Structure 1
Amino acid sequence: MSGAESARDEAVARSAEVMRDLMARAVLFQDAVARSGGLNGTDLQTVGLLMSEGPATPGELAERVGLTSGGAITAVVDRLERAGYVTRSRDERDRRRVIITARADVVLERVGPVYGRVGARWAEYLRTLTVEQIELANEVMATAAKINREEIEHLRRERSPRR
């Protein structure tokens, strides 16, 4: 094996280590943020999806989060509503439908400062990089997110009962 191949193999192995550490730290960070806001990790991710993707019916929200039983999403929404993070309302066009909406003001008040602090630290680091380095990092992270999304869908398909 040439020196270049060996260096590449070492860099790829290091990349796998870094990705494992990043993913573990991201999960632990989200759990710590959730606890700081009086939630659990699933509840924080659920309200985060409502913030980023907009209001949803309980069924749509269950699909986004990957919960398979109707009771599970009801319990999540009940906890979030009791904690003041979401509201339930009737759909204006179909009064039988319930719409769950995140209360952005509450989310920003309770967990926003943590994300703001991390965002400021991240921005400070990014100022030390060139545009090309930032673009490469963006590509790597976007690809990692895409692969994760695809793997989540694959795992959900494997888990769901065959029709």
Structure 2
Amino acid sequence: MTDAVERNAAAMREFQARAVLFQDAVARSAGLNSTDLQAVGLLMSEGPATPGELAARTGLTAGGSITALIDRLERAGYVVRRRDGADRRRVLVSVVTERVLADVGPVYGRIAGRWADYLATLTTEQVELATEVLTRAAEINREEVERMRSR
């Protein structure tokens, strides 16, 4: 078991490093930096946010850093700022989905297709186990990010 756990740890380190490098390459292909692309991804998956909410999602400060990020994304056409319909004092940042899909959709579509082809070679039980492992790895990463941010 020890050898299997060590191989798994090595594979996880490799996967995480490659995932970060992949995301950086995708961001650069769209003229963004990694943090900008992650902010766009969070807005797509979790919905529109106030600048403060987006700062909390990304771990950036609510001050100048998040404003600069939103300004860059707005200039590039990836997000828009709009007044909240329920509370006109609030500004919400929303993704321009069509722009994101046009610029990075083909890259993600290609990798999704390759991943689907690989998963098709596995049994249902293997896919379910892989899903469980990835889900738990994501939870552990999220918990550790929260732990580091709370310091």
TM bucket (normalised to shorter chain) is over 0.9
- Percent identity between matched residues is 67
The letter for the 2-side match of 1:118 is: I
Q: Distance in 2 between matches of 1:44 and 1:17?
A: 27
Name the CA distance, whole Å, in 2 between partners of 1:121 and 1:15. Answer: 22
1:127 aligns with 2:129: no
The separation in 1 between residues aligned to 2:131 and 2:84, in whole angstroms, is 38
Map of 1:106 onto structure 2: 99
CA RMSD of aligned residues (A): 0.6
TM-score, normalized by length of structure 2?
A: 0.98
Shift in Å, 1:95: 1.6
Q: What is the total number of aligned residue pairs between the two structures?
A: 151
Alignment TM-score, normalising by the size of structure 1? 0.91
Q: Which structure 2 segments of 5+ residues have no match?
A: none
Cα distance in 1, alignment partners of residues 85 and 124 from structure 2? 47
Aligned to 1:49: 42
Contact 2:36 2:69 in 1 (8 A): yes
1:73 aligns with 2:66: yes
The match for 1:140 is 133
The aligned residue for residue 4 of structure 1 is none
Deviating above 6 A after TM superposition, structure 1's stretches of 4 or more consecutive aligned residues are none
C-alpha distance in 2 between matches for 1:17 and 1:118: 22
Q: How does 1:26-65 map to 2 (within 5 A)?
A: 26-65=19-58
Map Cα deviations across residues 100-123 of structure 1 (whole Å, 9 max, x no partner): 000110000000000000000000
Residues in 2 aligned to 1:69 and 1:51: alpha-carbon distance in whole angstroms: 20
> Aligned letter for 1:108?
L
Alignment of 1:83 with 2:76, yes or no, is yes
